[in-house]
Amino acid sequence: MDSVDLSVLKTLHGWQTGPFPLWLVTVVETFGSSPRQKGAMLALRGDGLVVGSVSGGCIEGDLVRRAIQGQLKLDHCEVVMYGVTQEEAKNFGLPCGGALRLVIEPVRNPDWIGRVLQSIQSHQLVRRTVHLESMQVLLDNADRNEATTFDGEYLITVHGPRWRLLIIGASQTSSYLARMSQALDYHVTVCDPTETLHQTWDVPDTVLVSEMPDEVVLAFEVDPCTAIVALSHDPKLDDMALLEALKTPAFYIGALGSKANNMKRRARLALLGLTQEEIARLHGPVGLFTGSRTPPEIAVSVLAHMILIRNQSTEVNRVSKLSGNT
């Protein structure tokens, strides 16, 4: 399951042999309450077809109208604003006071799209720098801390999986969680030493490893953009992973199981030498409580909790930077 931005790039790549002009529309700045975040993208074709989103729908409608009527530039990038006034915000369905700045980029030389897709396929982050006047595109390696930037002359975007998810256990629940996570820009690795489970694992674009979980966590180079979720139903495997995971800076660490089983797990981890502060980082039972029973429901609850914790962490870091407490 592709992320929204990956779907946009794949669509542009598929459209490039057709007869219609193409544009890539990117949100480069937001003001007030905006429906999409900075860096959101939309693929637009000259006959009005669109994939992706830069707003709740009304801005897309105006872009389609302009494309069909031949009002969009073909020889250089265009910077446009929507929702500057309250009347305009109302007309385009934006929240009161909200506004968006967009870069509308004609895609005349699409070679860079294939190269970006190839990098993403190799689980690499790639930085794309485009000069708005000449439309010259430069590709380079990027890291997960980079974000979309725009200075009026150059637009820089970052493509590829910014987040990583390590799942312990190749179970049915793991399969649903892996697919859903890919749609949210996670590069997914699944660890399970059970060889028979490898034969039935069918989630594309994931990495499946058979080493012991503690060895995988140690070799994973865990950082604050990493989540680790133990779903094997085997306490030996899950505990081995958690014993190392809880010492790392991963933003989310969870384990499947009832409250009673997780209390027992915490006692075992304490006996194995983890501190109470480290053990307190464990989300167990994993996920938001929704009364989930089926594998897809459990996967939804886990991913929802990961989103909540990730967004809370991102907001804390943003406020910290604004206050100068870095």
Cβ atoms 226, 163 nearer than 8 A: yes
Cβ atoms 153, 133 nearer than 8 A: yes
pLDDT tens profile 77-134: 999 998 755 555 555 555 555 688 999 999 988 889 999 998 888 778 899 999 999 9
Q: What is the mean pLDDT of residues 205-221?
A: 94
Q: What's the pLDDT at 183?
A: 87
Q: What's the pLDDT at 21?
A: 95
Share above pLDDT 90 across residues of the chain, in percent, rounded to a whole number: 64
Cβ atoms 246, 274 nearer than 8 A: yes
pLDDT tens profile 2-51: 677 888 999 999 999 889 999 999 999 988 766 678 899 999 999 999 99
Separation of alpha carbons 109 and 104, rounded Å? 15
- Domains in the chain (CATH in brackets) are 4-159 (no CATH), 163-312 (3.40.50.720)
Count the Cβ atoms, other than its own, within 10 Å of residue 132: 19
Residue 247 has pLDDT above 50, yes or no: yes
Residue 79 to residues 155, 229, 317, Cα–Cα distance (Å): 11, 42, 30
Which residue is listed with tokens 């396929």? 121
pTM here is 0.73
Q: What is the mean pLDDT of residues 139-148?
A: 87
Q: What is the mean pLDDT of residues 52-71?
A: 88
Q: Which residues, 6+ apart, have CB-to-CB distance to 305 below 8 Å?
A: 252, 254, 283, 286, 287, 288
Q: What is the mean pLDDT of residues 155-179?
A: 93
Share above pLDDT 70 across residues of the chain, in percent, rounded to a whole number: 89
